[in-house]
Amino acid sequence: MKKSSTKETVPGQIDPDEILPEYDFKSSAPNKYASRYTAGSVVVVLDPDVAAAFPSSAAANEALRSLARIIQKHRAPRPASGHRL
C-alpha cells in the first residue's frame, strides 16, 4: 500500500507556513516611508539626544561624512591585499 504524498498533520499542530489568525493584515497599509530608502542605503536609528543635534538627515549625513574623512585621514594604512603580516 502506498503512503499518500501529502503531509499528515497532527491535530492541534499548526503548519509553520500558515499565518495565524491573530496576525490579521487586512487593515494594514503600505509603508509610506519606503520611497525614502534608496537601494544601497542603510537605516540607522539614532538615540533621541543624538537626533536632536541634527535638524535634518542631510545635516546628520554631512556631519558623519566629515567625521569619516577625519577617521580615514588618521587611520594607519592597511597592507595591500594579498600580503600577509
User: Does a structural domain hold residue 12?
Assistant: no
- 9 domain residue, yes or no: no
Q: What's the CA gap between 85 and 72, in Å, rounded?
A: 21
Res 30 pLDDT > 70: yes
Instruction: Say what percent of the chain tops pLDDT 70.
Output: 79
Residue 54: domain span: 44-74
CA–CA separation, 68 vs 72, rounded Å?
A: 6
* pTM summary value: 0.47
Q: Quote the cell numbers at residue 19.
A: 499565518
Residue 67 lies in a domain: yes
Report if residue 13 sits inside a domain: no
Domain-embedded: residue 23: no
Residue owning grid cell 558623519? 64
The answer to whether residues 60 and 46 touch, using CB atoms and an 8 Å cutoff, is yes
pLDDT band at residue 83 under the 50/70/90 scheme? low
Q: Which of 55, 56, 51, 65 lies closest to 36, judged by CA?
A: 56
Q: Does residue 17 lie in a domain region?
A: no
User: pLDDT by residue (tens digit) across 37-70?
Assistant: 777 788 889 999 999 999 998 999 999 999 999 9
Instruction: Give the chain's domain count.
Output: 1
